[in-house]
Amino acid sequence: MAVGGGDEKIAQRVLRLTDIAEEPTDFLMPISGYEKMPIVSLEEAVEPLVPLLPSVKSYAYAAKKKCKKPADNLTQDESAAIMLYSMGWEPLNECLYCALNATLRSKNRSKLKSWFLYLRLLLAALFRLPPLPQLTVFRGVKLDLSAQFQKGETVVWWGFSSCTTSIEILQMEEFLGMTGERTMFTIQCHSARDIRKHAYYPSEDEVLLLAATEFEVKGILKQSHNLRTIQLQEIQSAEPLLIPVPSTTNSNDSPVDQFKNLKVNNDVTGVSVKTVQSTMSKPNTNKKQQVDAPVEISPKSDASKSSQQKPVSAMSTPPKSNHEIDHPTAVDIDVRIEEITNRIIQILGLDDEDKNKILRALLKNGRQSLINYQKDIISKIYKEQMNGNDNELMTLLKKYFERKWEVEYDSSNAWFIVYLKQCKNNDNVTYETVLTRTAEYGNKYMKNCPILSIILQILFKDIDNKCLQEKNLFNDLWLTITNDGLKSIIEYSKYIASEIINELINEKQSILFQALREYYRQELFRLFQQNNIADKENLYDLALDNIVEYGWIDGIKAIEDTITPKKFEMLLD
């Protein structure tokens, strides 16, 4: 039955604050898979949960009705996803937050699959909320758990953890009380989220820690009356245990706010932009994917290549330093982006009602997205801005994507920004072709690793727009190189100069080698960690280099002698 009333509110708080005993003592596999899901409505997100939680659709409906005007600039679905988590109902094994946390704490990660859509929406919402500044919070349980904790060791709480900022709350009999076996946790944390504006039972002193938060045990104190106090300090895991969601921005934000949020979120989560963006799965070696069908209006054919410009081969090795980069400040970039977006609004004559919606489409999917908004733009303006590549809209979009690359990669992959600047100076025709294509189609050809996509487009300059759209050639190249590694590019030798191919294959630190490392890194390291393979004697980097050169299967086989046969078989599976 639905919960309600003051007593029920306290009962639900007791459940949330005192379920620590349910946390496993074993180290589990990272929480992953959900991050590859699209963000959908709350109704769609809970549909796979109905066999597990028969009443969940009714509670989701109620949550969404209560979130018509969500706070913190969240969407209605995002806010309602948090509210649904904070609700409680009986039986408890069919209550969402109880069932979700039980699944997160289970060794069987396959049980999480039904939760992927909901987790994707919930975590998108929680990552939108700014982490609270470092503070001390408390949890407790009416059990002696001190034997499970040793000073100096680390522990992971795999479920979402509700905590209170008020130690007095725990003295209430419903929580810890004053007598009997009890364990109180004092936790210094830096990533807690304040969800009270989205909670069904808002409480001023309750905050939420994300799933898979790791702590160091700082001390254990045995006190009178059978009370044990355990001091924990939140730490940043060496590698993410909750695989981060892709870098996303709120659909309610203006484009300028989206850039600000991107920088803020990268700073506070402790995850670099390249980590957030590298949410790629192991390639399917049996089935080739299809590129999206081309839309109606195509850009002009690529400009003829200038024989006076330096070939890309002169830049095939990544720069050794980033001293050549003119690093813009965050304020500079925000000003530039705002100038660009304001000017786009002006030249298209967008009204206040539609401007953010159309801008978001433009900045994600390029000029071609305007086909869907033709009725919202004056016909003369539409025809002028959709015709050719030299009009003001295309100029502004190209400036935007250049700024976007600076924001996303200047700090995490400075070598890539240096490379782009070198291309712009030394092989401007090729650089302009790729930039124009991006302005026209946005993310269409970026796949799941923009760095690798852009570098492939620059190196394989003879794969022009016609090859991309009609022959599906770039898609074939992508699948070949991400399945079979660097040396497989020989199959596409007619689209690239032979001396460049030799350079790329034979030079250990070529620009393509570096880009492939970015593509493979996170998925490989996650695979090793899931199989409990330690990074001894630089094993991770050794395996990464082999996979970059020879692809997944042969790359893994190259390290067969460095791990046990059992774990080697697990990797191949």
How many other C-beta atoms can be found within 10 angstroms of the C-beta atom of residue 18? 20
Q: What is the pLDDT along the chain (573 residues), one digit of tens a residue?
A: 344 444 555 556 666 656 777 888 888 999 999 988 888 999 999 999 999 999 999 999 999 999 988 888 899 999 999 999 988 787 777 889 999 999 999 999 999 999 999 999 999 999 988 888 888 999 888 888 888 899 999 999 999 998 888 887 777 776 777 778 889 999 999 999 999 899 887 765 789 999 999 999 999 998 878 889 999 999 988 888 998 876 544 555 555 555 544 444 433 333 332 333 333 333 333 333 333 333 333 333 333 333 334 444 434 555 544 334 444 444 444 557 788 988 999 999 988 878 888 998 899 889 999 999 999 999 999 999 999 888 999 999 999 999 888 877 766 778 888 899 999 988 789 999 999 999 999 988 888 889 999 999 998 887 777 666 656 778 888 888 888 888 888 888 887 877 787 788 776 678 898 899 888 887 888 888 878 888 877 888 888 988 988 888 888 888 888 888 888 888 776
Q: Which residue has the tokens 């081309």?
A: 294
Which residues contact residue 155 at a Cβ distance below 8 angstroms, ignoring those fewer than 6 apart?
23, 149, 214, 215, 217, 232
- Residue 33 DSSP class: S
* pLDDT computed for residue 282 by the predictor: 36
Residues 437 and 416: their CA atoms lie apart, in Å, by: 19
Q: Domain ranges in the chain?
A: 6-235, 256-514, 531-572
Q: Which residues pair with 138 in a beta bridge?
A: 164, 186
The residue type at 11: A
CA 370 to chain CA centroid, Å, is 27
Q: Which residues pair with 235 in a beta bridge?
A: 214
Ranges of beta strands (E only) in 18-146 are 135-141
Cis peptide before 91 (omega within 30 of 0): yes
Q: Is 2 helix (H, G, I), strand (E, B) or coil?
A: strand
Residues 158 and 135: their CA atoms lie apart, in Å, by: 21
Cis peptide before 240 (omega within 30 of 0): no
Token digits for 131?
């982490």
* pLDDT computed for residue 200 by the predictor: 85
CA angle 497, 500, 501 (to 5 degrees): 90
Cβ atoms of 42 and 81 within 8 Å: the answer is yes
DSSP string computed for 154-199: EEEE-S-EEEES-GGGGGSTTTT-SSSSEEEEEEEES--B--GGG-
Cβ atoms of 509 and 318 within 8 Å: the answer is yes
* pLDDT computed for residue 142 by the predictor: 83
- Specify the pTM: 0.48
User: How would you class 296 by CB atoms within 10 Å of its CB: exposed for 0-12, middle for 13-18, buried for 19 or more?
Assistant: exposed
* Whether CATH 3.40.50.720 fits 6-235: no
